[in-house]
Homo-oligomer: A and B are copies of this chain.
Amino acid sequence: MLDPEGLRRAQAAGKAVTVGYGGFRYVQFLHDFENVPRGTALFEDGAAVIYGYPAIGRLLALETGLARQFAAPFWMEEKVDGFNVRICRVHGRTIALTRGGYVCPFTTDRLADLMDTAVFEAEPDLVLCAEVAGPENPYCDSAPPFIEADVRLFVFDLCRRNSPRFLSGAEKQALLRRYGLPSVASFGRFEIGDLPRIRALLRQLDAEGREGAVFKEDSHRQRRAKYYTASGQLAAIASHVHSLMDLPPEYFTGRVLGLALAAEELGLPCPGELRQRLGAAWLDGLQEAIRRQRRDGRIARRFRCRFRSPDNARELIHQLKRTAGHHLQIVPGELYQEGELWRLEFERIYPSLNGLLSDWLAGRVVLD
């Protein structure tokens, strides 16, 4: 899939660059290029390639969607609301790469708390595709309700170095069990005819405030599709209202429409409750933003996470600043020892919403 000639073309086109993160020099794919997904990392002059995790399409209608996407039975797994990493062993060290192909200072630091890395003694070329989720994560403003503190790790796919292909569902389950790896809930293998059971599972996930499910065709085609519960759509709105002015408009309007479809699809019984939750998803964060703006003159959200090494905490701040772009500012807060770990606090500041609200609160008019 990735030959030296393709690599040269990708580098010449600016799609792949040589970088140095986490003590490694490697080639990072900043964008999709030909068949190589964004986030792909080449270590050791191409001798070890960790392919990027591909984008998964979102279904808005289950019956037609599953029928259209899949030609064979499929696995159904929980979609956990966190951030995507690929965990692998390089030069004898176990590291986690972010979706974009950065060595993640946070996940790499905490790996030993999140899983038993002994799996890599027996299977050094394994790549674990996993979600890291919880209220004390440095990237996402939302977390599954069943994780009360810190973060947890959930493996959802396995592949091997130098291959973009995932292991089959059966191989994956066998390895997960053999090595006792933490993983997302798997609900089993289904066919289109099982739609009532699938809907019942999604209703249960929704009632528990969980984000959704991923469906994976049990075939060589490796087709996948995801589905958000109403809770998942609502969390996506609530956790992004601070970026209201920066995200593409379709982000919000698409989620509201998705929510309306999910409510119908899952037969959610109480329209009043759904209205209430959608109103809260929009308003709670914006009302807090207005209060912050008036009180502090700036709109910020506070993040907290824990590290084994304070150096990794500092490295995370560097990385967040490097990747934040103009629509986000990172303001480091305290870094202090707490038991055996180091506690990092920092704030994300949202300049666009801040600028708009400060104009409006200063009495400027809007013409529309």
Contact = CB atoms under 8 A, between A and B. Distances in A.
A282 B254 CA distance: 12
Contact of A362 (B58, B61, B278): B61
Nearest to A245: B253
A159 to B, nearest CB: 21
Q: Which of A58, A245, A279, A283 has the most CB of B within 10 A?
A: A279
A136 B105 CA distance: 62
Contacts of A280: 275
B363 A67 contact: yes
Contacts of A271: 283, 287
Nearest to A357: B257
A294 to B, nearest CB: 9
A1 interface: no
A360 B279 CA distance: 24
Given A60-B360, A244-B256, A271-B287, 6 more contacts: A68-B364, A69-B363, A252-B252, A277-B279, A278-B278, A278-B279
A362 B264 CA distance: 15
A361 interface: yes
A343 to B, nearest CB: 32
Given A68-B364, A225-B365, A361-B60, A275 B283 contact: yes
A13 interface: no
Nearest to A65: B363
Q: How large is the interface on A (under 10, 10 to 19, 20 to 34, 35 or more residues)?
A: 35 or more
Contacts of A360: 60-61, 261
Contacts of A254: 366, 368
B282 A55 contact: no
24 contacts: A57-B365, A58-B365, A58-B366, A60-B360, A61-B360, A63-B363, A64-B363, A65-B365, A68-B362, A69-B365, A248-B249, A249-B249, A250-B368, A251-B368, A252-B252, A254-B366, A256-B282, A257-B356, A257-B357, A260-B286, A271-B283, A275-B279, A277-B279, A278-B279
Contact of A253 (B59, B249, B357): B249
Interface string A252-273: 1110110111011000000110
